[in-house]
Chains A and B, each alone.
Chain A
Amino acid sequence: QVQLVQSGAELKKPGASVKVSCRASGYTFTGYYMHWVRQAPGQGLEWMGQINPNSGETKYAQKFQGRVTLTRDTSISTAHMELTRLTSDDTAVYYCARDRIGDGLSWFDPWGQGTLVTVSS
């Protein structure tokens, strides 16, 4: 079955960087976009950006431009999200989610289980 499995929880200090991984299985990794969405404690969902695993092309939400980098390793069907210059406001659960490519439709399904990133001194 289609599955996205993310790396484990992280505890980081302010100013540090974090890299979260998302390993895909059960489908052709290069055939679907991968998005990253975060959810701060008790808050809603916030889209961060997307990567086309086939071409490596990325698009980022303006809020995260210059601070987030999405990459992929097609040899192991894994997408990565790196966020730099962390502050306490970046404390959140980070999700990866699969999306369609190229047919004029877009929805996120499935989602990874989420990775809690805590930023604290």
Chain B
Amino acid sequence: ETVLTQSPGTLSLSPGEGATLSCRASQSVSNSYLNWYQQKPGQPPRLLIYGTSSRATGIPDRFSGSGSGTDFTLTISRLEPEDFALYYCHQYGGSPPKHSFGQGTKLEIK
């Protein structure tokens, strides 16, 4: 089973700053199968990034994804007030293949 570990658990930043969120896998993950979601209180998750680095429809270009193998990163270049939320990484793979999520990173206003 592939375990995803996100860091930090909580990130405290101010609007306008940049944010870097990390997702580390216990075994290598195909770039095609690493995704990021944003979740706000009382709402379902929303797809942000798919296939490691492709932005989903309607996602601003201040969001970007990168990485390969076991280390993946979500970068938010200039934080807007609406970006403060929970972020989850998600992968599909392993043997037998299954889906798993990281435990989440909470991005909070400093």
- Contact among B45, B100, B103, B104 for A108, CB-based, below 8 A: B45
Interface string of B71-110 (1 = CB under 8 A from A): 0000000000000000010101000001111111000000
Could you tell me the distance in whole angstroms from the C-beta of A3 to the nearest C-beta in chain B? 12
**In the complex the two chains form, is B101's CB within 8 Å of A47's CB?**
yes
* A111, B100: Cα distance in complex, Å: 16
B50 adjacent to chain A (CB < 8 Å):
yes
Given contacts A45-B45, A95-B44, A114-B44, contact A108 B88 (CB under 8 A): no
* A113, B42: Cα distance in complex, Å: 9
**In the complex the two chains form, is A112's CB within 8 Å of B44's CB?**
yes
**Residue among B45, B50, B101, B104 with the highest chain A CB neighbour number at 10 A:** B45
**In the complex the two chains form, is B102's CB within 8 Å of A108's CB?**
no
Interface string of A70-98 (1 = CB under 8 A from B): 00000000000000000000000001010
* A1, B88: Cα distance in complex, Å: 25
Which residue from chain A places its CB closest to the CB of B47 in the assembled complex? A109
Measured between beta carbons, the chain A residues less than 8 angstroms from B33 are 105-106
Measured between beta carbons, the chain B residues less than 8 angstroms from A109 are 47, 50, 56
Could you tell me the distance in whole angstroms from the C-beta of A18 to the nearest C-beta in chain B? 19
Q: How many residues of B contact A (CB 8 A)?
A: 21
Main secondary structure of the interface of B (DSSP, over half): strand
**In the complex the two chains form, is B44's CB within 8 Å of A107's CB?**
no
**In the complex the two chains form, is A47's CB within 8 Å of B99's CB?**
yes
**In the complex the two chains form, is B101's CB within 8 Å of A107's CB?**
no
**In the complex the two chains form, is B98's CB within 8 Å of A108's CB?**
no
Which residue from chain A places its CB closest to the CB of B50 in the assembled complex? A107
Interface residues, chain A, with chain B CB atoms under 8 Å away? 35, 37, 44-47, 50, 59, 61-62, 95, 97, 104-114
- A and B contact pairs by CB, cutoff 8 A, 22 listed: A37-B101, A44-B103, A45-B45, A45-B101, A46-B101, A47-B98, A47-B100, A47-B101, A61-B98, A62-B98, A95-B44, A106-B35, A106-B92, A106-B99, A107-B35, A107-B56, A107-B90, A108-B37, A110-B44, A111-B44, A112-B44, A113-B44
